[in-house]
Structure 1
Amino acid sequence: MSLPENLKWAFATQTSWLQTIFRILLGAALLFAGISHLTFNRAEFVAQVPYWVPLATDSVVVLSGIVEIILGLSLVVLYKYKALVGWAAATFFVLIFPGNISQYMNEVDAFGLDSDTARLVRLFFQPVLIVWALWSTGAWKAFKNRNK
């Protein structure tokens, strides 16, 4: 099977041993978070779902947990596709950011974030996760170099 020409950049990605370690750590963290969505932290995650999401809150938690498990496993085992998985993980972090904003704006206590300051500080970590996903997988570098 031959790759489409416009996707070949995603498979020529080289990363350092440090990036590999951070990619695997991010994968493990996502895997853990996904499992916790479906088990012991379910109520905490339900509390974070914005009121305007047009699905049942429990369904959103289950679906996002499944996506996190898939992304976590993919970051660990699909190393040949790491750049594409990196973009997928970064996109996921962007898509769930409204939940964190909603938690702050609606003053929802969850995960021990029981003050406006704690909830606000948490918002600054979402961009860190996005950068982590793109850097550790070499996704940004691969995309930047796609026409070379």
Structure 2
Amino acid sequence: MQTTTLQNIFKVLLALFMIYAGYSHLTFNRIDFQAQVPDFVPISKDFVVVASGFVEIALGLALLLWTQRKTTIGWILALFFILVFPGNISQYLNQKDAFGALNSDSARLIRLLFQPVLIAWALWSTGAWQSWNTSKK
């Protein structure tokens, strides 16, 4: 699937965002990210944060480097954003502060609204959504 220059720019921006987010999971935001791990998850919150950090870095690098499979990576990244969404919901419902800015119900609620944006960004910038639409015709 051929993507536009604008889509490619946004794909690179998303890749850099994912690498940065993954790095922050492993370093300076490690404790803050633990606030997003729901209490019902039966493994160590720190393990979940570290593992998701490595996954984010891998997805970011894949977006940058594995251009032949960009639509597949787009779907995988969208799925990743869906899978971590319960953590964001848990953080909101349990009123857990994090990152200095997520210290109110309204801030945590606004953050929830950005998850669909990330999903759409992944699908659009990689051409995954276009490819799926084209395959249905």
TM-score of the superposed pair, with normalisation by structure 2: 0.97
Q: Match for residue 133 of structure 1?
A: 122
After TM superposition, list the pairs within 5 Å mapping 1:1-148 onto structure 2. 13-111=1-99, 112-146=101-135
Classify the secondary structure of the residue corresponding to 2:42.
Answer: coil
The sequence identity of aligned pairs, in percent, is 59
Cα distance in 2 for partners of 1:127, 1:35 equals 22
Cα distance in 1 for partners of 2:39, 2:17 equals 26
Cα distance in 2 for partners of 1:95, 1:37 equals 16
Runs of 4 or more above 2 Å deviation: none
Q: Which amino acid in the other structure matches residue 51 of structure 2?
A: L
Q: Which amino acid in the other structure matches residue 126 of structure 2?
A: T
Q: How far 1:79 moved relative to its partner?
A: 1.2
Q: Any unmatched runs of 5+ in structure 1? A: 1-12
Classify the secondary structure of the residue corresponding to 1:48.
Answer: coil
| The structure with more radius of gyration | 1
- Residues 52-85 of structure 1 show CA distances to partners (whole Å, capped at 9, x for unaligned) of 1111100100110010000000111111110000
After alignment, is 129-138 or 38-47 more displaced?
38-47
Q: How far 1:147 moved relative to its partner?
A: 5.1
- Residues 79-110 of structure 1 show CA distances to partners (whole Å, capped at 9, x for unaligned) of 11100000000000000000100010000000
Cα distance in 2 for partners of 1:63, 1:121 equals 26
Q: How far 1:47 moved relative to its partner?
A: 1.5
Cα distance in 2 for partners of 1:22, 1:147 equals 25
Q: Which amino acid in the other structure matches residue 113 of structure 2?
A: F
Q: Which amino acid in the other structure matches residue 45 of structure 1?
A: F
* Alignment size in residue pairs: 136
